[in-house]
Structure 1
Amino acid sequence: MKKGHKTLRPFCTFAATLAAGSLAAASHTEAIPVSETTAPVAAVADTAKLMDIEELVIIATPKENNRLRQQSLSSTSLSQQDMRNNGVNSVKALTGLVPNLFIPDYGSKLTTSVYVRGIGSRINTPAVGLYVDNIPFIDKSAFDFNYSDIERVDVLRGPQGTLYGRNTMGGLIRIYTKSPFTYQGTDLTLSAATYNNYKASVSHYHRISDQFAFSANLFYEHKGGSFENIARNNSKIDKGDEFGGRFRAIYLPKENLKLDFTLNYEFTDQGGYPYAYTGLVSGEEDRKDYIGKIAYNHESGYKRNLLNGGLNLEHQADNFILSSVTGFQYLKDQMDLDQDFTEQDIYTMIQKQNSKTISEELVFKSKPGHRWQWTTGVSGFYQWLDTEAPVTFREDGLAWLNGMVNGMANKYMPPISMGPMTMNFVFSDIINGQTLPIEGKFSTPVWNGAVFHQSTFNDLFGAKGLSLTVGMRLDYEHLNLNYNTGCGYTHTYALSGKLTPGNKEITMVPAQTFEKSIYYQGELNHGYLQWLPKVALKYDFNSQNNIYATVSKGYRSGGYNIQMFSDILQGDMQSMNMKDVADVTIKALDKAPMVSDEVKQQVAGILNRLSQSVETDVQKATLYKPEYSWNYEVGAHTTLFNGKVQADVAAYYMDTRNQQISRFAQSGLGRTTVNAGKSRSVGAEAAVVARITDAFTLNGNYGYTHATFTDYVTNDKSGNEVSYNGKYVPFVPMHTFGAGAQYVFALKHCNWLDNITVNANYRGAGRIYWTEQNNVSQSVYGTLNGRISLNKGNGQIGLWINNALNTKYQTIYFETMSRGFEQQGRPMQIGVDVRCRF
């Protein structure tokens, strides 16, 4: 089906007529499934039969030979109309629409945490891959981008490592923009919503000839913010602006050659992070009036420049298809963070990233229709990533650091008894200055290379419909870390004795000031090789019904925790300071006649023990290993009741090793990734779409995941060994679910309106444990969302509501510096949008 070949009148008069209080939603004569369209009734078939998205929207992929529902994997496809009806404007809005997929909406566009089937990532490498128009997005800092001209989203669950390699052990998200060869015209969209949210986008699609077509898109969005920071005059903390555009050009110089060029740019300027204080981790409420409130004094925010470009080249030979996919990504961003998230002046951090990535995939695959279908190829990328991450301790932070050292020393200092008199040592060591900046510059280049092959043998052993798929990928990755971090400072030390009774203070070591400098500079490197096999057996009852069983392996890259240097530096600062303290104190005590030799030896032992410095193995302290998993899955794709119902089901068992877990460093200075031994995930998922009548459609999905640690023993903050075996993996919801309905009211005798479409959906997740101890969790919750639309020709006006019941729930909880923090889900929001096509 091709779009844009019939003349369609503009929508200007319709928009003016309905603007006064009318309720409407979107309707395009797009090539989308009849089951999901809200197009005029004339465009809908008389039968209630469902149609697959790929039956109408044909999108070429370089690696696959069959449509998604004909492959031995669990997947979900969403058309543009699906996304519009469900308010999907970014990757974070997919939660509840795809079973066992959880992407919490918190933080900034820097943070895109994707969890699937018991695995996921808050920082560093992702567990789910992302491709846009067949171009890989290597860095998850770029995953959250604008969806203004997106035509379709595919979500593949389970390891996709054989064909797609690293960081697809949980699955793969594929996103496609509209093709200017199959869609022409100019789309204009204007939107407004509560909390001062405004959007505007314009897209033009033009087919100049049978050989060349192009599209151009521009967008702008403003968010007024929905959370207030009481420490900054109740200003909106999460406000922001973004703008950008996309250009795409397709050239067909020959009948068997296609060049597809894409270029996308976005600028984002976001406010801070709505993290509210929940109290001390111990359970004591030190500030009752601050519980549940956002209160941090330093301005925070995130700015990002993101440029993506790519060239897809496809050559059709007699017996195979050759594809070359070249990608380039440039990301430059800055995050400002009040890292203690309180009104206290403890410490702040600035993180600047400058990333450039170039990738190349060269793929050969057989043409469809043969008993032996195969795909083989090579791929590689190189990423340059420079990070500046200075941390600045401020007034309260220095007091905190000094308090830890002084408290530790005074705790162990022995009293001196002299008859009825007792003297207690008073230890004082102060880092001078109002601030202590710690520099941090890091370069972490990564390069990766892979070779892969996958074969499918159809009608195996002569049994029609039976097929076997076997594949293997050899993936090599090499990491480098160049680091330059440290600080210079002064500290002043004094020791006195407090005599009781009498409360008299005696000076034992006069105040002395020491100049110190501590820096870490060096280079580390590490490499590893991964084998990623896949075996799948599938039986096709017909073109729309099949069952399958799959065994596959995926892995997530390892890397370096650059924030671990904060812990290393803090420990070294304490030992260096105590070395100065020990040198002068032991000499002074030797000359003190009132102090016994026994006490002198005891104090000397304490000071020498506190001043001992352990040579740090930087590689061991900062490196985290790759995570990998084996996935065992059975499932079925079915079409029932004469094509009126589509149902997909799957059950899986996933065994994960070296699971990567995000946690705050022992010092509280930032998050790090650690390997948490082994975990096991068992679950099932189901999705169904039923077209009851030509006008009435129902859909639903459900995912169940039981993910627990099976071998995870570590140390707590006190250094004591603790086992988390049997505990649930944090951030993984046990249940994800969604249910929706659509009804199209046809208006055959109305001159100014074609139809009214009503959409409603309810989606949610839970229970979600936020900590490895499983002592804090979010119970099962759901949000009710809806949309009412009026459609006329190429025009639409829509009124929508998100979180209609204003449900309260946590999108994240974390602990740092013995304090707990949370971000609440976004409150109810109502909006209206106007769309027209010229």
Structure 2
Amino acid sequence: MKRNVLLLLVLLIAIHLQAGDIIGKDTTNSIRIKEIVVTASPKESKHFRQLPVTVSTISQHEMQACQVNSLKSMNGIVPNLFIPDYGSRLTSAIYIRGIGSRINTPSVGLYVDDIPYIDKSAFDFNFSDIESIEVLRGPQSTLYGRNAMGGLIKLHTKSPFSYQGTDLKLSAGTYDSYSASLTHYHRVSDKFAFSADGFYDKSGGFFNNVYLNKKADPFSDGGGRIRSIWLPKENLKLDLNVSYEYSDQGGYPYAKYDKTTGKTGDVSTNLESTYYRGLLNAGLNISYQTRNYTMSAMTSFQNLKDRMFMDQDFTAANMYSITQKQKQNTVTEEIVFKSTANKRYEYVCGAFGFYQSQNTNSPVNFGSDFLIASRMYPSVKSLSVPGEYDTPTMGAALFHQSTFNNILFKGLSASIGLRLDYEKTKISYNTNATINSQPMQTTILTGDAKDDYLQLLPKLALKYDFNDNKLGNVYASISKGYRSGGYNYQMFADLVQGLMMASPASDYTSSNVDVKSSIIYKPEYTWSYEAGTHLSLLDNKLTADLAAFYMDTRDQQIVKFAPSGLGRMTVNAGHSASLGAEASARAIITNALSLNASYGYTHATFKDYIGQVKNQQQQIVSVDYKDNYVPMIPQNTFSLGGEYAFTFQNCFINKLVFNAQYNGVGRIYWTESNDLTQKSYGLLNGKIGITMNKVQVDFWGRNLTDKSYATFGFVSSSNTFMQKGRPMQAGVDLRYRF
């Protein structure tokens, strides 16, 4: 595979040596491997590469070249970032440097046009109007709070003040895949501009359910965004952003995995797993600028309503299934004061608050095969364990960060920050089960539990600029990250079923069961130490970023399936450590040829973690996972790519662009016991683009070598399952700008 990639790059260089008569010396080619998009930020006064933070920036051109159309398509491109594409859009697990979260509170934050997305059920959405991406690695908790323990991803849409016209995009591909989007940008006057976007995507699915004889994972979604910017005064800006998206998909195409042969079978479930979601986001950014500072006020509202149905035994047997419905409303408010840049002393301070109401209705249904296998109720045909849970969460924070420039000598700066973060969580639960037996058995669990957390999140960073930052900088930092605790409400069915199995002739109520200790998990903390450099060389034709880090994490939240197989649960590992390094480089070889490469290494292991599993006698026993690798964390991420562009003068075709990208991750351990793995693999993607005035046609391919790999693996009810990665795809995009 690597030989194929090197061959493609050598071919691009060889073509360049023969192309002198095609490309003029004064070419108008605008292909740049590193396009710096300057976006105003409420909290940062400089571009991120000028700050003491490890960051990867992806421009819109790079998004198109690397075929980045969602968060889950960034694997390998950003060092030490891993976002597995599995399950459904409900499951958006993001891992950076050994820190991540499969369920519950995210450990990597997401902002869209400076509006926070609190819940990761909303992370996976359409990228039709996204202009640029910034990925900050390492804790950003001092300025961004509990969701930014592992890092931060910032997305930006196009400003209707800087871009005018209408973009139409049509796409068709294999596996019955189609998409369309239409976006209009209009500048009404020097004071008002707006944009409107609409899109629709459809896929027939990639994996067959052989039991139902239909695709397991068809997908469709549609929606749009309206953004308007008003400048009533020269120093006042109001930016309103409203979007809605509806998704409907098949999900969870898990298949049995044979450890002996290393083969993954076909999806075969007797019930069809599905997921749909309606997602509304609205945000208002108000920015007021004076000579000495900028005040920003950001208000947002998010409404999420979804339904997940899962055949939870993942087999053709009629064992058990779950239906989960969520209704979620989130309101956030943040006020930030930021000093004017390029002064001896700079500061940013502010206050943040949020409230999230969430109602979850999550009944678990036990089928006839399960009831017969249990040998307790052979006459009962089905059993449902309904459950309704209200889990409101609120939080508030105060933060301040000071930066002292040119201390001791010119070019040396120090940043000191502190955040006081408070969060309060609560759960009200109502679940029950009744079996018509002799005597009749009823189990009812109702009640509530609550917790609160108060954290101080400090940060200290030193930075030295080379030649007034014209050549780059070197930096070192220490920071603390934090992720709040919570409740495993999926475990109520497991708890009820366990009580009924233990004593079928008794009644249970919440008064004689310790529910809280069974469902709660504790907060997670990490201290991060890192050093790195940003370099800009050869008149910015070569940019490079290097960093090394060590993260010491306590009470790390680990997600696993319950021993019974009746749901996922979060548990706390006592202590883990993550050590690693990362490097990325982008080079403009000529006006036509550009290359990029990145590599990330993470060594994340448990230092103190005693887990519990069922042995062959179905007894719960303790297992010591010390020195085992933390699951879901790839040891390596890597990317190698190149682009070559022919530019033609006085020709029907203005530009012909060839692009090749090889992205990979691995090895990945899927379980704490490290007995289920995915070895390192790479995917070869490519694109040929043709530009003709206002029309652009792209012929693209993904996983061109049809590499077989797994995106997820787990063990449930003594069975091992995998989800296969998507096979080779090909298609064509048509863009028209007018």
TM-score where L is the length of structure 1: 0.83
Q: In the alignment, which residue of structure 1 is the partner of 2:20?
A: none
* Unaligned runs of at least 5 residues, structure 1: 1-37, 403-428, 492-512, 581-610
* Structure showing greater Rg: 1
Q: In the alignment, which residue of structure 2 is the partner of 1:520?
A: 445
CA contact (8 A) 2:27 2:647 kept: no
Q: Distance in 2 between matches of 1:172 and 1:149?
A: 20
Identify the match of residue 542 of structure 2 among 638, 645, 648: 645
How far 1:213 moved relative to its partner? 0.3
Q: Distance in 1 between matches of 2:571 and 2:425?
A: 17
SS of match in other structure, 2:649 = coil
Supply the AA of the counterpart residue of 1:514. Answer: P
SS of match in other structure, 1:398 = helix
Q: Distance in 2 between matches of 1:653 and 1:103?
A: 21
How far 1:173 moved relative to its partner? 0.3
Higher RCO (C-alpha 8 Å, min separation 6):
1
Identify if the C-alpha distance between structure 1 residues 168 and 636 changes in structure 2 by more than 3 Å, giving closer, same or farther.
Answer: same
Correspondence list, 1:458-469, <5 A: 458-461=405-408, 463-469=409-415
Q: Does 1:487 align with 2:433?
A: yes
Correspondence list, 1:171-210, <5 A: 171-210=151-190
SS of match in other structure, 1:232 = coil
Q: Distance in 1 between matches of 2:219 and 2:40?
A: 36
Q: Distance in 2 between matches of 1:400 and 1:41?
A: 77
Q: Distance in 2 between matches of 1:714 and 1:747?
A: 64
Q: Does 1:106 align with 2:86?
A: yes
Correspondence list, 1:165-564, <5 A: 165-233=145-213, 235-279=214-258, 292-402=265-375, 429-430=376-377, 432-461=379-408, 463-491=409-437, 513-542=438-467, 543-544=469-470, 545-564=472-491
CA contact (8 A) 2:421 2:454 kept: yes
Q: Does 1:835 align with 2:732?
A: no
SS of match in other structure, 1:698 = strand
How far 1:146 moved relative to its partner? 0.3
Q: In the alignment, which residue of structure 1 is the partner of 2:528?
A: 631
CA contact (8 A) 1:40 1:755 kept: no
Q: Distance in 2 between matches of 1:671 and 1:735?
A: 27
How far 1:39 moved relative to its partner? 14
**Deviations, residues 413-463 of structure 1 (Å, cap 9, x unaligned):** xxxxxxxxxxxxxxxx426421101110000000010000001000012x1
Supply the AA of the counterpart residue of 1:77. Answer: T
Q: In the alignment, which residue of structure 2 is the partner of 1:15?
A: none
Q: In the alignment, which residue of structure 1 is the partner of 2:677?
A: 777
Identify the match of residue 156 of structure 1 among 136, 139, 155: 136
Count of aligned pairs between the two proteins = 710
CA contact (8 A) 1:431 1:489 kept: no
Q: Does 1:742 align with 2:643?
A: yes
CA contact (8 A) 1:74 1:157 kept: yes
SS of match in other structure, 2:211 = helix
**Deviations, residues 803-825 of structure 1 (Å, cap 9, x unaligned):** 00000011000111111110111
**Deviations, residues 52-86 of structure 1 (Å, cap 9, x unaligned):** 643xx321110011111101111001111111111
Q: Distance in 1 between matches of 2:439 and 2:85?
A: 47
How far 1:195 moved relative to its partner? 0.4
Identify if the C-alpha distance between structure 1 residues 572 and 772 changes in structure 2 by more than 3 Å, giving closer, same or farther.
Answer: same
Supply the AA of the counterpart residue of 1:809. Answer: Y
**Deviations, residues 69-125 of structure 1 (Å, cap 9, x unaligned):** 101111001111111111111110010110000001111110001011011111111
Identify the match of residue 707 of structure 1 among 604, 610, 633: 604
Q: Distance in 2 between matches of 1:560 and 1:432?
A: 34
How far 1:721 moved relative to its partner? 2.2
Q: In the alignment, which residue of structure 1 is the partner of 2:565?
A: 668
**Deviations, residues 366-398 of structure 1 (Å, cap 9, x unaligned):** 011211010000001000000000001011011
Q: In the alignment, which residue of structure 2 is the partner of 1:588?
A: none
Identify if the C-alpha distance between structure 1 residues 284 and 791 changes in structure 2 by more than 3 Å, giving closer, same or farther.
Answer: closer
Identify if the C-alpha distance between structure 1 residues 52 and 464 changes in structure 2 by more than 3 Å, giving closer, same or farther.
Answer: farther
Identify if the C-alpha distance between structure 1 residues 632 and 571 changes in structure 2 by more than 3 Å, giving closer, same or farther.
Answer: same
How far 1:795 moved relative to its partner? 1.7
Supply the AA of the counterpart residue of 1:304. Answer: R
Identify if the C-alpha distance between structure 1 residues 755 and 80 changes in structure 2 by more than 3 Å, giving closer, same or farther.
Answer: same
Supply the AA of the counterpart residue of 1:748. Answer: Q
Q: Distance in 2 between matches of 1:667 and 1:776?
A: 19
Identify if the C-alpha distance between structure 1 residues 819 and 256 changes in structure 2 by more than 3 Å, giving closer, same or farther.
Answer: same
Q: Percent identity?
A: 51
How far 1:293 moved relative to its partner? 1.2
Supply the AA of the counterpart residue of 1:116. Answer: I
Identify the match of residue 720 of structure 2 among 816, 820, 828: 820
Identify if the C-alpha distance between structure 1 residues 732 and 284 changes in structure 2 by more than 3 Å, giving closer, same or farther.
Answer: closer
Identify if the C-alpha distance between structure 1 residues 97 and 642 changes in structure 2 by more than 3 Å, giving closer, same or farther.
Answer: same
**Deviations, residues 231-287 of structure 1 (Å, cap 9, x unaligned):** 102x111111110000000000111100000000000000132111115xxx689xx
Q: Does 1:619 align with 2:599?
A: no
SS of match in other structure, 1:484 = strand
Q: Distance in 2 between matches of 1:627 and 1:86?
A: 34
Supply the AA of the counterpart residue of 2:268. Answer: A
How far 1:577 moved relative to its partner? 1.1
**Deviations, residues 280-320 of structure 1 (Å, cap 9, x unaligned):** xxx689xx9x9611100111100000000000000012211
CA contact (8 A) 1:703 1:736 kept: yes
Q: In the alignment, which residue of structure 2 is the partner of 1:800?
A: 700
Identify if the C-alpha distance between structure 1 residues 696 and 53 changes in structure 2 by more than 3 Å, giving closer, same or farther.
Answer: closer
Supply the AA of the counterpart residue of 1:657. Answer: R
Q: In the alignment, which residue of structure 2 is the partner of 1:87?
A: 67
SS of match in other structure, 1:517 = strand
CA contact (8 A) 2:34 2:59 kept: no
Question: Mean alpha-carbon deviation: is it higher for 797-806 or for 785-794?
Answer: 785-794
Supply the AA of the counterpart residue of 2:190. Answer: D
Identify the match of residue 574 of structure 1 among 501, 507, 510: 501
Identify if the C-alpha distance between structure 1 residues 615 and 576 changes in structure 2 by more than 3 Å, giving closer, same or farther.
Answer: same
How far 1:615 moved relative to its partner? 4.3
CA contact (8 A) 1:486 1:519 kept: yes
Provide the aligned C-alpha RMSD in A: 2.0
Correspondence list, 1:567-606, <5 A: 567-577=494-504
SS of match in other structure, 1:369 = coil
SS of match in other structure, 2:663 = strand
**Deviations, residues 654-704 of structure 1 (Å, cap 9, x unaligned):** 000100000011221010111111100000000000111111000000000
CA contact (8 A) 1:41 1:755 kept: no
Q: In the alignment, which residue of structure 2 is the partner of 1:505?
A: none
**Deviations, residues 783-812 of structure 1 (Å, cap 9, x unaligned):** 000000111222200000000000001100
Q: Distance in 2 between matches of 1:272 and 1:312?
A: 36
SS of match in other structure, 1:430 = coil
Q: In the alignment, which residue of structure 2 is the partner of 1:608?
A: none
How far 1:40 moved relative to its partner? 13
Q: Distance in 2 between matches of 1:87 and 1:284?
A: 36
Larger helix share, 1 or 2: 1
SS of match in other structure, 1:577 = coil
**Deviations, residues 108-143 of structure 1 (Å, cap 9, x unaligned):** 110001011011111111110000000000000000
